[in-house]
Structure 1
């Protein structure tokens, strides 16, 4: 399986023409990006709701200016707006943007690009060296909230498609191109599943490109192949009807704090595998090829531990650190509490205790089934005299695209042409809305991102490397031809 530039070039746009076009329009593109970054579209702050809408309106206008014949705002949430997604709480969510540019080639594949235009909160006093909403370029790096996450990576598709057209002489893209740019990703995408379900017909596609991710490094460009899912819960344990004297009653009645500790201790076996019965049923195991590709990456575990502020690596036996955080399911104790927490001692048997758990899921695991397994495990593990409640807060499904999928290879080839080197593969240990797109639309999810770890997503002084941003533009310019040809060859 090769994705080196030499064997990747098919009948795609000439690289020299693509790069000439990008160079000629780079300054104007960066001016547009700076203008968009000045809009503080913080979806988590109700006071910024007008700015989030202004951001969506700005993007609609820019996409129309780019050439998309259809570009419109889609409302989310409850009542209000002709395209409301029908939220359950009656509140109106932040607007999303939809755009579409059909190809003149009737048999061309349909590709949906996903990203988001909302951003994390930011203020100068958080530790920013510059105003987070006044874009500043220093040494080839553009500093601003949203520069990498995710406005820069959304906007590079506008220049990418124009370079694609200019280099090929086409008047429409080689694929039926659609964009869905969310306005609530930084708030947990509460209305996103409802939105894509409501508009599933208009969003129908053969492949989804997610441009809300990153690479291993500038020197080692990579394509992500999947993300883990997530479900989390709180377990409330109830013993005596009130705190009682440990001398009079301790050792003769069940203690909810002790049982919370016993649950936490029983969560893993001696090999650090999750000990909940049925937890691993149906999971997609790592292939030998994937393990070899992960091992090729220049991973410095000591440096990684420093970024984790940890003093040692530990996890499931038989797997490397990268395999553990990318491709294995996990269970974590996020919090544990109960009983007296004040100064000094207080000799009681507490009446209540709590345990907060989260589970990262991999392909083949179903969140509903995991929740059922956790509930059954808790019930079976507790003694008589301890009542309990298990409350799950929601779930995000895992997604994974196999390494040999033709469309994934298209992304790798296009990126290889832009970077002029071999493209390697990673996964993401976190979770996101990509699986919702995969489940509702029934299309493979492919990740195209150029951000690097030092870009500081969600942190002060977020930035994007401008030369890498142009590599994203170039990759997008090559990708549409490659996907079209890949589809015709299938």
Structure 2
């Protein structure tokens, strides 16, 4: 992060600095709660996490704070901080307080739920994804009020922090429907995305969607000796291998029928921003599981392949004998697990239809095929970069980080499209973590100075939005 030593410190930055120690103390306390939403044994901890956040909001002076603990959904937290002007814009900040499991725990350098500070880094499950960024917005509100000297923010700010994002948000639609009036807003600020780099801050403008399924080929009722029937009956494992081989053409393009029909390409300005970002292939590969080289669709950079191009990936192939030695059989069953990352305006249901058609075309006679979806999937989302709220976020981040800010996207998926469709308003992104924060992995961390700059950006954003959205 750069800065001008002769430039006077802004009131937002001074306020963030004044509250920084208290912010860090509170965040470490919250991170100690093991709110692992995907594990039923920790559902009580998810509830404890929700109540911790609700209590913190009340201490900060949020006037309407509720824990939504209803039906099968894990507890979510709602809060509102109204503007003095009833005609001011209303902004909904979205985040989540559930966290991923910590396995394999033996690979952690420090206990995952004993938040540990080493230099500028804070280690602990949820530090980056997503408790750190939710806490960043609490700090941003405190800084905004201190910087303006006002009792109320310049915009009405609502906070919606769900407890099931790491489980795929299975009850989010129900929460949005049950609390439509509470969540009504003019803009959503989504706070679960990273910067491109510590010295290359960016504003995210979109996320890919996802659809997953397992394709199962079944032949006989049991495996059979290959000397007795090999070459005379269809082999499900061979058929699965052929289906996988047919999934991409020689250029790496996906061969599902109509797969690219709905794809909207990024603008020339966005592609120019991507190209201007610093990219070190060796460093990128080191953070990509130690891959030995890049590959993918011709005509697109590595970043573009990850951010704005759709993909089909084989996640696992199963079938036949895989133990030690040789067992000469024709398997009765084989399967492949596939996932598709989608870009605007692809839809999971259309990809599901295309996959079924593709499988039908590649099912040999004598085999039964079944396509088993892993859920409904999540659609992609990208905000129009010319929207004035996107410009406001960019200006706020530039001012907070003291350097020019470019646009980026993220290759992962989330509920931004669902929020956009259900609430009927644009979704913009404000995050301050890094791609190498090891989210979902051992030794998750967050860089504390980045969270402080993110809080400053949020404090500035609330001041900018009334004019930009008028």
Q: How many residues align?
A: 463
TM-score w.r.t. length of structure 2: 0.93
Aligned to 2:14: 20
Task: Tell me how far apart the structure 1 counterparts of residues 121 and 291 of structure 2 sit (CA, whole Å).
Answer: 29
1:365 aligns with 2:359: no
Partners in 1 of 2:131 and 2:222 — Cα distance? Answer: 53
Q: Contact 1:294–1:322 at 8 Å: present in 2 too? A: yes
In the TM superposition, what whole-angstrom CA distance separates every residue of 1:261-291 from its partner, at most 9, and x where no partner exists? 1110100111110011111111111222221
1:353 to 317, 334, 356: 334
Deviation, 1:125, is 4.7
1:156 lines up with 2:156 in the alignment: no
- Partner secondary structure for residue 455 of structure 1: coil
Q: Does the residue aligned with 1:453 lie in a helix, a strand or coil?
A: coil
Indicate the residue corresponding to 2:287 in structure 1: 307
Please give the secondary structure, in 2, of the residue aligned with 1:396. Answer: coil
Cα distance between partner residues in 1 of 2:347 and 2:435: 30
State the secondary structure of the residue aligned to 2:73: coil
Whole-angstrom distance in 2 between the partners of 1:229 and 1:207: 21
Residues 446-476 of structure 1: CA deviation (Å, up to 9, x unaligned): 1111112343222333222221111011101
Indicate how the Cα distance of structure 1 residues 355 and 129 shifts in structure 2: closer, same or farther if over 3 A, else same: closer
Q: Take 1:206 and 1:33, find their aligned partners in 2: how far apart are those partners?
A: 29
* Secondary structure of the corresponding residue to residue 52 of structure 2: helix
Report the counterpart of residue 256 of structure 2 in structure 1: 276
Rounded Cα–Cα distance in structure 2 between residues aligned with 1:358 and 1:197: 29
- CA shift, 1:425, in A, is 1.5
Contact 1:69–1:101 (8 Å) recurs in 2: yes
What is the aligned partner in structure 1 of residue 427 from structure 2? 445
**Is the contact made by 1:102 and 1:175 (CA closer than 8 Å) also made in structure 2?**
yes
SS in 1 for 2:274: helix
Q: Against the structure 1 CA distance between its residues 461 and 241, is the aligned structure 2 distance closer, same or farther, given a 3 Å change threshold?
A: closer
Alpha carbons 1:108, 1:487 under 8 Å: kept: no
Match of 1:37 among 31, 46, 49: 31
Q: Is the 8 A contact 2:208 2:410 kept in 1?
A: yes
1:422 partnered with 2:404: yes
- Which one of the candidate residues 30, 55, 64 is aligned to 2:58? 64
Q: Distance in 2 between matches of 1:50 and 1:344?
A: 47
Query: 1:412 is matched with which residue: 371, 394, 407?
Result: 394
Deviation digits for residues 379-398 of structure 1 (CA, Å, limit 9, x no counterpart): 12223211111111110111
Q: Secondary structure at the match of 1:27?
A: helix
Q: Deviations over 1:50-74 (max 9, x none)?
A: 2221111111111122121101001
Q: What is the aligned counterpart of 2:372 among 379, 391, 394?
A: 391
Contact 1:232 1:392 in 2 (8 A): yes
Which 5+ residue runs of structure 1 have no aligned equivalent? 7-13, 76-80, 85-91
Q: 1:233 to 1:37 in 2, by over 3 A?
A: same
- Kindly state the Cα deviation for residue 160 of structure 1 after the two structures are TM-superposed: 1.1
- Aligned counterpart, 1:199: 179
Say if 1:341 and 1:140 are closer, same or farther in 2 by CA, change over 3 A: closer
Deviation, 1:123, is: 7.6
1:473 aligns with 2:467: no
Q: Which deviates more, 167-176 or 246-255?
A: 246-255
CA distance in 1, matches of 2:199, 2:18: 25
Q: Deviations over 1:231-259 (max 9, x none)?
A: 11111112233333434443343222211
* Worse-matched range after superposition: 426-435 or 452-461: 452-461
1:27-426 to 2 correspondences below 5 Å? 27-75=21-69, 81=70, 84=71, 92-122=72-102, 125-308=105-288, 309-394=290-375, 395-426=377-408
Three-state SS of the structure 1 residue aligned to 2:414 is coil
- Give the TM-score taking structure 1 as reference length: 0.90
Cα separation, 2, equivalents of 1:292 and 1:226: 16
